[in-house]
Amino acid sequence: MPETLAWPKLGLLNQLLEPAILYKDIKTKLSFREKHQGRSAGLVEQALCSAIDSELQNYLTFVGVIETEIRRQQDQNTRDNNHNNNSSTRGRGNGSVITLRRCVVLLQEATLGLRLIHSILTESRGLVGGQILSLIHNYTYNGDELVARFAQRLLPKVSVPFYDVLNRWIGTGQLIDPHEEFFVQPGDQGSRWEGRFVLVKDKVPSYMKPEVAQRVFQIGKTLYFVRVACDNREWVEERQAGFTALDAGSYGSGREDVFTTNQRLERQINDAYTDVVRHLNHTLREKFGLDRHLRGLKNYLLLGKGDFVQLLVETIAPSLDKPAVQLFRHHLTATLETAILGSNAHYDHEDVLRCLDARMLELGHGDIGWDVFTLDYRVEQPLDTVILDKAATKEYLRVFNFLWRIKRVSFALNRTWRKMATMERSGRLYIRLDSHNGGDDDSTIELASYIHELWKVVRATTGEMLHFINELQYYINYEVIETSWVQLQRDLTERYLSVDEIISVHREYLARITYKGLLGGGELYMGELHEILKNILSFRACVEGLHDITNRYNSGAANTSASGSGADEKRVLNIGGLIREIRVGFEDTVERLVAQLNKQEDGEMRFLGVRLDFNGFYSSRMS
């Protein structure tokens, strides 16, 4: 600049040079992005560059208008000089003369816009999609009204590609996002649901509430599920035909009515969400029988259908008492079919019965049939995703095996009790000394007396064990499974749920059963329960042996020779020792279990401990 210029004019020229420098720098940045990124740049970034280029064109147009006015004034001044009428001309045109100061004033708003554009270009490096929209939206709350208004004008133009992806996602469940700018991204492509899509929170625009973004995420996922897993493309296409697309200018389009526009868009999203999940719930229930299969799982894998379970145990017990290697699957399925036909299970829906099967787990060395038998329940798509994925199937199998062990022990113990009661009523529970030769022998009398006392111990121990098993079964069936089932039904029916929510409430249902059913305490409970059930089965085997000896003596088939009598006496003493040892072990283990239950925060689990120790027997042993 000429050194002769006055400082005020230099200041004005500096202000006039700022928009020119900003314009040049912005054009350089745009050219650099186009050269080095080109087609690889995201669609939102391309829209940003296009919107900026449009603003620059507007700026050039405005500068051209100012330049035209200056030239017009110059021509007018030249004509006035030729007519020697300068003073009168200046007097008439003084109000519209374009001076340096007036140029600064005219370009003030454009300069602020160029500053904002320059800042946005600089700050948006490395940002994509919603991150760029968040950056621009933040400027709409700038304290300078001109800056805020400029950002409000820029935001809808830049948002167009983002809303194109958004509308496709919530309209059809299709994710068409070649540059991965949207806040929903594809996840595990090998998965049908879990992790199939992911929500990237840092790509959600700042003007979109987290709960709104979550609903957008769920709408698209649900549409994808309905279209692919439920094979219901027709409904999705019909819905798309009547779908009202979201406007790119709706969010943040004006500071004065931002609350109103956000409310309107939230209402649109909520209405779309309700419409989609309502159809999902209707489809799962009416077309695929969600409720029917949930009840089938409860009735069969959780042993809720009592008459069927009892008949199955009675029918299959002889086969399961054999070594596992002697079992064949067709025998198991035939027995299952018999139990279904002989109980109320045959009134169940054919879809439920078709899903039910019997199979064997992997064999281990020394396993018997009880150890490897399991019921299986298989559902088809989409229910294998919603209620019976791998994790849920594993959990159902775990619960079934636990309940089946309890049912086995209960069946064995009740059979022992019935046999003992039958013998007592027929007078064959104790040895009759007149039932065989040598009945008045001292050793025989002593043995008979010992067996008589031993049967008293057996009766008392059987009563303790039956009390434990009955209380445990009542607790699991009614206070664990039934209460959890009621809660599941309440969760499923109080409102329409998305796929993720249905999966979640079903997992919570299983988690409540495993935790309150004593399966969730790790080795703390399972170790004690395993020991108790093992003691009961060992006790039952000892009672069977004692029953055989008593029967042989009463039928006169016992060996009355000295050696034979000695062998029987030794066997009886051995059985008696085992029975007393098992009883002590059983009571010690139940005592520990009751102590652990009394420490639980859950009231129902504590009350189980109270019922097991209803007369204070185990607590008195502790003290």
Query: pLDDT tens digit string along 546-597?
Result: 888 888 877 765 555 444 556 778 888 999 999 999 999 999 999 999 998 8
Mean pLDDT of the chain: 86
Q: Which pLDDT value is given to residue 358?
A: 95
Q: Are residues 1 and 108 in the same domain?
A: yes
Choose the final residue of a domain: 320, 352, 381: 381
Beta bridge partners of 199: 184
**Strand pairing class (356-360; 373-377):** antiparallel
Between CA 608 and CA 605 the distance in angstroms is 5
Q: Are residues 338 and 357 in the same domain?
A: yes
Task: Examine residue 142 and state whether it is found in any structural domain, yes or no.
Answer: no
Task: Examine residue 253 and state whether it is found in any structural domain, yes or no.
Answer: yes
Per the listing, tokens 């700038």 go with 142
Q: Are residues 518 and 604 in the same domain?
A: yes
Q: Which one, of 527, 554, 339, 363, lies nearest residue 444 by Cα?
A: 554
Task: Examine residue 103 and state whether it is found in any structural domain, yes or no.
Answer: yes
Q: Which pLDDT value is given to residue 211?
A: 93
Q: Which pLDDT value is given to residue 451?
A: 86
Res. 598: pLDDT tops 60: yes
Q: Are residues 487 and 612 in the same domain?
A: yes
Choose the final residue of a domain: 287, 306, 324: 287
Q: Where are the alpha helices (DSSP H) in 177-328?
A: 210-224, 233-241, 258-282, 290-296, 306-320
Between CA 49 and CA 33 the distance in angstroms is 9
pTM of the predicted model as reported, rounded to 2 decimal places: 0.84
Q: Which pLDDT value is given to residue 212?
A: 93
Band (260; pLDDT cuts 50, 70, 90) = low
**Higher pLDDT, residue 264 or 233:** 233
Number of other CB atoms surrounding residue 611 within 10 Å:
17
Band (89; pLDDT cuts 50, 70, 90) = very low
Between CA 452 and CA 434 the distance in angstroms is 15
Amino acid identity for residue 103 in this structure: C
Which pLDDT tens digit goes with each residue over 410-467?
A: 999 999 999 888 887 776 666 655 554 444 556 667 778 888 889 999 999 999 999 9
Q: Are residues 427 and 573 in the same domain?
A: yes
Secondary structure letter of residue 246 according to DSSP: P
Q: Are residues 100 and 59 in the same domain?
A: yes
Q: Are residues 478 and 607 in the same domain?
A: yes
Q: Are residues 451 and 488 in the same domain?
A: yes
Q: Are residues 339 and 262 in the same domain?
A: no
Between CA 218 and CA 187 the distance in angstroms is 15
Peptide bond into 382 cis (omega under 30): yes
Between CA 54 and CA 150 the distance in angstroms is 13
Q: Considering only 71-85, 264-278, 484-498, 519-533, which range has the smallest mean pLDDT?
A: 71-85
Q: Are residues 563 and 517 in the same domain?
A: yes
CATH number at residue 600: 1.20.120
Which pLDDT tens digit goes with each residue over 227-241?
A: 999 999 999 999 888
Q: Which pLDDT value is given to residue 342?
A: 95
Task: Examine residue 39 and state whether it is found in any structural domain, yes or no.
Answer: yes
Between CA 392 and CA 399 the distance in angstroms is 11
Buried b (16+ CB within 10 A) or exposed e, 201-214: eebbbebbeeebbb
Q: Are residues 273 and 347 in the same domain?
A: no
Domain housing 452: 389-622
Choose the final residue of a domain: 287, 309, 335: 287
SS3 184: strand
SS3 415: helix
| Sign of torsion over alpha carbons 612, 615, 617, 623 | positive
Buried b (16+ CB within 10 A) or exposed e, 502-531: bbebbeebbebbbbbbbbebeeebeebbeb
pLDDT mean over 500-521: 90
Q: Are residues 32 and 176 in the same domain?
A: no
C-beta contacts of 27-35 below 8 A and 24+ residues apart: 27/56, 29/118, 29/121, 29/122, 30/121
If one counts the domains in the chain, the total is 4
Q: Which pLDDT value is given to residue 252?
A: 47
Task: Examine residue 138 and state whether it is found in any structural domain, yes or no.
Answer: no
By CB atoms closer than 10 A (0-12, 13-18, 19+), residue 365 is exposed
Q: Which pLDDT value is given to residue 14?
A: 77
Between CA 378 and CA 393 the distance in angstroms is 9
Secondary structure letter of residue 569 according to DSSP: H
Q: Which pLDDT value is given to residue 430?
A: 65
